[in-house]
Structure 1
Amino acid sequence: MNIIFSEERMPGQAVVEKMTEAGKLCIIEEGLDPKDIVVSVTFVDEEEIHQLNKQYREVDRVTDVLSFPQFDDLTNLPKGGEVCIGDVVICPEQALLQADDFGHSPERELVYLFVHSVFHLLGYDHLEEEDKVAMREKEERIMNQIGIER
């Protein structure tokens, strides 16, 4: 899996390595070949994610992560090379606040937000309770596999 990380506001190497490991497992979980998949990750401040949230979701507040999938259906991805399935935008400041609120490490929150977003890129949603439960189970399975448990 090729993850293109923005340089600005990028967390430490340990977090990036865990995100990379988790992303690969998410892709494998869905039966895709990680060598064919690209994801872009950008880290932004609270003001920028607020603006993006308002522009693209019509929600006028800061959020922790946004997902911008490139495909509605991943069953017929183009063959013959890497395919970018979407973009992830994370606000590290918001993640740190949430980590404190939830009582776990900043590393766990950042990696979890990335995993959550990758599953959105893979077509998962959590609008309905049944979908939310399925998505959370997948997220927790990946987090446990990389050794970052609750």
Structure 2
Amino acid sequence: MFMFGGISYLGWFHTILGIAAIVIGLYLLIRDRFIFMDTKLANFYLLSTVITCAASFLLYGATGFFNTAHWLSVITILAVFFALALQRFNIFGFLTVYFKQLALTGTVFFSMLPTTAEILQRLPPSNPIVDSIEDPLVLKFYMAYVVLFGIFGIYQVIKISREDIDGV
């Protein structure tokens, strides 16, 4: 397998596209407070997220086993397809917009967890900040994400209920 800097070309593709997807997802959430699926940027975000997650299944050879990050990829892909189904079909009536937006926000959250662990375990290359996902620093990041995304999810629910947001 072709490598550059100890990472395969597929690994670099996965990393660069994944970071771009997370940055775009965060940008959309900060700018609009939601991910509106009718925009080109949101479509790029969703497509790049699915491609990044799918690429992770080809990279599990790096760890030698199917790990938690891969399960998060499965959950992320399911959340994207769930949101796409809700975009097309009004399955849950007035609750559809809530489920759709929480699923879309969840894709950013689910992507950030393994990305944070990977960054902290790889940088700087000569002496990475942490050596495992059980490191207290990684766990603090995870807890911060749970709190931030939990509060943000509550905010989204309140905003949808108070305004006429169709969650397109």
Q: Normalising TM by the smaller chain, what interval?
A: 0.3 to 0.5
Higher helix share: 2
- Give TM-score scaled by structure 2 length: 0.35
Please identify the structure whose Cα radius of gyration is greater. 2
Q: What is the TM-score with the length of structure 1 in the denominator?
A: 0.38
Question: Is the strand fraction higher in 1 or 2?
Answer: 1
Q: Larger relative contact order (C-alpha < 8 A, sep ≥ 6)?
A: 1
